[in-house]
Amino acid sequence: MKSALITGITGQDGSYLADLLLEKGYKVYALRRRTSVPIMENIQHIENEIEFIEGDLLDLSSLINALKISNPDEVYNLAAQSFVGTSWDQPILTGQVTALGVANMLEAVRIVKPDARFYQASSSEMFGKVVETPQVETTPFYPRSPYGVAKVYGHWMTVNYRESFNMFACSGILFNHESPRRGIEFVTRKITNAVARIKLGLQNELRLGNLDALRDWGFAKDYVECMWLMLQQEKPDDYVIATGEMHSVREFCEIAFGHVGLDYKNYVVTDPKFFRAAEVDLLLGDPAKAISTLGWNPQKTTFKELVQLMVDEDMKKVKQQSNNIMSVGSRA
């Protein structure tokens, strides 16, 4: 039985990756940072199948301990301060977790289990103010946020450890990938959640920033398959993971509201408060290398199918939440 250690398992990527690895017969360990109220919603269905190890990306000794306990064949480093907007409010924390946390994890692997295969979650935000379109593995980075800058550091540290210590270390440069498990603060879930609330009469409007921003959006469940495939190759390498298609935030709104019979123009309000300090106008990845080398299919789930799936799931969640509140109120 292979074993894997995952950081960031409670996020959308970590939870889908855990599903995949358990299906493949792995023993799954998860690094869990101590919090007063653990957020376990995304992994409730598999919580009893995972072994949790307390630790923190900012504490090297805890990472060394986690590597000793899990003795993993594969390490997937997905944990980060991953919300771009927050990175301007908390740039130091973002640097510590999203950048230096990668160095801590790489160093722990080097010390304890140097033959383990390592995956680093890089990001299309590293391209930022793009210098060419579409973006490929060799496109120069030009990050436009503290988050993007931190991801560039983590990416190059992964390359450096691979070349300096002959470690099997890969980076997946994932373009925007969404799912019903996405955090509510991200624009896609913010939209689909609002669609459900507006449709059910619980909300009147949705305030957003730049509706014309263009992104390459895919389904997170499809993307975690690439993470696993990268670590099954003969040689470590870095890959752009994307659909090769670009859509605007406005188009996302149009499909999401239209799916429940509403016109987004009647509910979406542009609010300057939600514009980025330094905007990233467009991101478009070229997944040719992942397709040819990994045998991956980027079109397994279409953009429209993804948006509609997210709306359907949020409709279920909001209805359930509303019913629970009414039930509690009737008993009060």
As annotated, the active-site residues are 123, 125, 147
Q: What is the rounded CA–CA span in Å between residue 271 and residue 187?
A: 13
Residue 98 near residue 148 (C-beta atoms within 8 A): no
> Residue 313, SS3?
helix
Buried b or exposed e, range 62-76, using 16+ CB within 10 angstroms: bbbbbbeebebbbbb
Q: Which residues sit opposite 27 in a β-bridge?
A: 3
Q: Could you give the dihedral angle defined by the CA atoms of residues 298, 241, 190 and 255, in that order, rounded to the nearest 10 degrees?
A: -30
**Helix then strand then coil, % of the chain, to nearest 5:** 45, 15, 35
CA distance 150 to 272: 25
CB 280 within 8 A of CB 216: no
CB 170 within 8 A of CB 230: yes
173 bridge partner residues = 122, 240
In three-state form (DSSP H/G/I as H, E/B as E, the rest C), the secondary structure along 240-268 is EECCCCCEEHHHHHHHHHHCCCCCHHHCE
* Rounded-to-integer distance, Cα 2 and Cα 26, Å: 5
Instruction: Count the helices and strands in the chain (H runs, E runs).
Output: 11, 13
Using CA atoms, how far apart are residues 109 and 167, in angstroms rounded to an integer? 9
Q: What is the helix (H) or strand (E) element at residue 173, kind and residue range?
A: strand 169-174
